[in-house]
Amino acid sequence: MALLPILLTSAHAAQYRALMLQAYADCPDAFTSSVADRTGLALGWWKQRLSGAPDANERVWGVAAGDALAGVVGLSFDKREKVRHKAHLFGMFVTPEFRQRGLGGELLAAALQHARTQAQVQIVQLTVTQGNRSAQALYERHGFVEFGLEPFAVAVAGGFVAKSHMWCRLGWSAG
Ligand SMILES: CC(C)(COP(=O)(O)OP(=O)(O)OC[C@H]1O[C@@H](n2cnc3c(N)ncnc32)[C@H](O)[C@@H]1OP(=O)(O)O)[C@@H](O)C(=O)NCCC(=O)NCCS
């Protein structure tokens, strides 16, 4: 069975919500949002994120596995003229049973491919928790480079974690 990323729509809102709540619960150090932040949001909030409307600021890709999603990643855009050249990658998560098969790479490639079709976008940025080696290595393989380290970026159970800020110029090619 081919596990390929698709652009999610509001019809996937319930599965997307379930997967992200799992992600926030399983990997509290990896995400800025928490279960408490997101669990009370109505399904309409998740549908809005996936609306795909022409003027929407966000797009989310997912890999379907049966009735559930095995992985997701999102891209957000800023319409303000001084910063519309930068898109932001967010919410990268692959369920443990589907890791190490290239899904994370496929999701990242789909998001970057879409970013390349947006004439105004020249750069994709993201943040990754310091020490999250598998995520950082994945981003580096796809052309991301660290440009700064933000100390005390996120409060977690054990204290604070730093976030590595990474960027990728869209002209870059792995080939
Ligand atoms: C980071 C994360 C998204 C990576 O997802 P993934 O699907 O395992 O990613 P990939 O399979 O594309 O790549 C991961 C590894 O599998 C290897 N791999 C890729 N394709 C493969 C294949 N076909 N067969 C076997 N291994 C493969 C890669 O070499 C890579 O190795 P490494 O981790 O030792 O560097 C996943 O680990 C995850 O969800 N982590 C928790 C949440 C998180 O940290 N999110 C990032 C927030 S910034």
pLDDT tens per residue, the chain (175 residues)? Answer: 678 999 999 999 999 999 999 999 999 999 999 999 999 999 999 999 999 888 899 999 999 999 999 999 999 999 999 999 999 999 999 999 999 999 999 999 999 999 999 999 999 999 999 999 999 999 999 999 999 999 999 999 989 999 999 999 997 555 4
Domains of the chain: 6-169 (3.40.630.30)
Our separate counts of H helices and E strands in the chain read 5, 7
Tokens linked to 106: 């496929």
Q: Write out the H or E segment, with its range, that includes residue 164.
A: strand 159-169
- Strand ranges inside 11-158, DSSP E: 58-65, 68-76, 86-94, 123-129, 145-156
Q: What is the three-class DSSP state of 83?
A: coil
Strand 123-129 and strand 159-169: the pairing is: antiparallel
User: 105 CB under 6 A from ligand 1?
Assistant: yes
Question: And the tokens for 124?
Answer: 């994709």
Which numbered atom of ligand 1 lies nearest the CA of 134? 33
CB 170 within 8 A of CB 85: no
End-to-end CA distance of the chain: 27
Choose among 173, 170, 175, 161: nearest CA to 124.
Answer: 170
Rg, C-alpha atoms of the chain? 16
pLDDT for the residue numbered 53: 87
- Residue whose CA lies nearest to ligand 1 atom number 20: 102
Query: What gap in Å lies between CA 54 and CA 156, rounded to an integer?
Result: 36
What pLDDT is stored for residue 175 in this prediction? Answer: 46
Query: Whose Cα sits closest to atom 5 in ligand 1?
Result: 104
- Per the CB < 8 A criterion, the answer to whether 91 and 60 are in contact is yes
CA–centroid distance, 103 to ligand 1, in Å, is: 7
Given the CA of residue 95, which atom of ligand 1 is nearest to it? Answer: 39
Pairing relation of β-strands 86-94 and 123-129? parallel
- The pLDDT of residue 1 is 63
